[in-house]
Amino acid sequence: MSKFLIKGAVAVAMLAAGPALAEFPLEDKVTLVVPYSAGGGFDTIARIFAPAVEVALGTTVVPDNIPGASGTRGGQAVSRADADGYTIGIYNIPGLNVAEILGRELGFDLSSVTWIANLAQSKYGIAVVADSPIQTVQDLCNLDHSIKLSDTGTNSTSSITAVIAFNIMGCSIVNVTGYSGSNDTMIAVMRGEVDATLKPISSLAKYIESGDLRLIATLTEETVVEGVQNAADLGYPELAQFGLSRVIGGPADMPAEIVATLSAAFQIAAASEEVMAWAESTGTELNWLNAEDTTAMMAEISEFYLQYEDLLK
């Protein structure tokens, strides 16, 4: 998507937001549902954004943790709320899309969620232990055994990405799942239990900086680190489609003005000093998208993963 298009969309959203700002957030507080317990990644980004959105919106924004049932209980709570903009939520994408494709009962219809904004997106990278003889993905595929990778859960986004990505590249893998967090999966690489791991670049970065791990490829369109292969270098540009997104959405059929107001408020928040400074210090890749682009992105993501339905099951 071109930068010009995004700028245009922002301008439209701002124009639409202008008059609506006066009427939508009247007295009530806005509840931002976080489908996980306090202290996790989704909770943190919600709590970082909340005060900045509060300023932009002129009303209180309260993050509300509704954990349970693998993050679907929070989504259910949002889908049941009135579509008046006072209850919105943050969604784990593509985790929920994949769960839906796998036939899990989410308890709400992902396609009827009103998408408001995309906050952040992480792309994936593949890393090996720093002193490993493996230099490229090709070396990894040429090992005398199936590539052993470490991951959290079988249905986690990174694990799904690993299964699909290495299938596209035609390499066979054994995904050792069950590690309790993405940090643990990287430590498993350092311990030498597994050959490599595929994780969001921002998570890998800490361990690459500290000299424990070495990046061998990034699933991105452009080169992120000099000398490290990107998706095009690998010969499979479609690999750049993988990513982990933190998306804001609301109940079905929210009025367009309210969506525009909220979306604009998140945009202002994303550009605010506090949020930018926080993102900088924690390596979070902010990537604000307006409602229209977020909706388009969601459709693309669903379609993309649907192609690999058989592989996932």
Partner 1 sequence: MIKANSEYVPYSVRSIYPALAILALAAAVYFWSQSFGEVARRLPALVALTLFVLALMDLWTRTKLPGSELMRAFWGADFTRREMTHNPALKTELGLMAWIGGCFVGMALFGILPTMPLFCVLFTRIRSRRPLKQALIVGLIVLGFETFVFELMLDYELYRGLLFADGGLSNW
Partner 2 sequence: MGFDALFSAGYEIVAGGSFLYLLAGVLLGLCFGVIPGLGGTTALALLIPVTYNMDPLAAMYLAGGVMGATSFGGSITAILLNTPGTAPNAATTFDGYPLAQQGKAGLAIGASAAASALGGLIGLFTLLLFIPLAKQIVLSFGPSEFFLLTVLGLTAIAVSVRGKLLRGLIAGCVGLIFAFVGADAISGELRFTGGVGYLWDGIPLVPTLTGMFAISQMIELALKGGSVADAEATPGSMKVTGVWAGVKSVFTHWPVLLRGSFIGTIIGAIPGLGGTVASFLAYSSTVQTDKDPDSYGKGNIKGVIAPEAANNAKDGGSLIPTIAFGIPGSAETALFLGILVLHGIDPGPAILLYHEREIYGLIVALTLSAVGASLLGLLLSRYLILITKVDVGVVVPVVVAISLTGVYVLDGRMADVILTLVMGVIGYLMIRFDYPRLTLVIALVLGETAEKSLHQVQLISDNQVLAYMFDRPISVILIVATVLTFLLPMVRQVMARRKMSPM
**Contacts with partner 2, residue ranges (CB under 8 A):** 37-40, 43-44, 47-48, 51, 63, 65-70, 72-73, 105, 107, 145, 148, 153-155, 174, 176-181, 183-184, 187-188, 190-191, 193-194, 206-207, 209-210, 212, 277-278, 281-283
Does residue 207 contact residue 184 with C-beta atoms inside 8 Å?
A: no
**Which one of 58, 80, 274, 303 is in contact with partner 1 (CB under 8 A)?**
80
What Å distances lie between residue 155 and 115, 160, 241, 311, CA to CA?
Answer: 23, 6, 18, 12
Q: How far is the CB of 241 from partner 2 (least distance, A)?
A: 23
In a 10 Å sphere around its CB, with 0-12 CB exposed, 13-18 middle and 19+ buried, how is residue 191 labelled? exposed
292 binds, among partner 2, partner 1, none (CB under 5 to 8 A by kind): none
Q: Give the Cα separation of 227 and 63 in Å (integer).
A: 42
Q: How far is the CB of 138 from partner 2 (least distance, A)?
A: 23
Closer CB to partner 2, 20 or 57, in the complex: 57
Closer CB to partner 1, 7 or 80, in the complex: 80
Q: Give the Cα separation of 214 and 131 in Å (integer).
A: 8
77 binds, among partner 2, partner 1, none (CB under 5 to 8 A by kind): partner 1
Closer CB to partner 2, 108 or 242, in the complex: 108
Which parts of the chain are beta strand (E)?
30-34, 61-65, 87-93, 114-122, 124-129, 147-150, 173-176, 197-200, 213-218, 244-250, 286-289
Does residue 199 contact residue 184 with C-beta atoms inside 8 Å?
A: no
Question: Taking CB under 8 A as the rule, does residue 76 contact partner 1?
Answer: yes
Does residue 293 contact residue 259 with C-beta atoms inside 8 Å?
A: no
Does residue 305 contact residue 157 with C-beta atoms inside 8 Å?
A: no
Binders in 168-207 for partner 1, by CB under 8 A: none
Listed ranges 13-21, 76-84, 189-197, 267-275: which one lies at the site for partner 1 (CB under 8 A): 76-84
- Please give the residue ranges that form the binding site for partner 1 (CB under 8 A): 76-77, 80
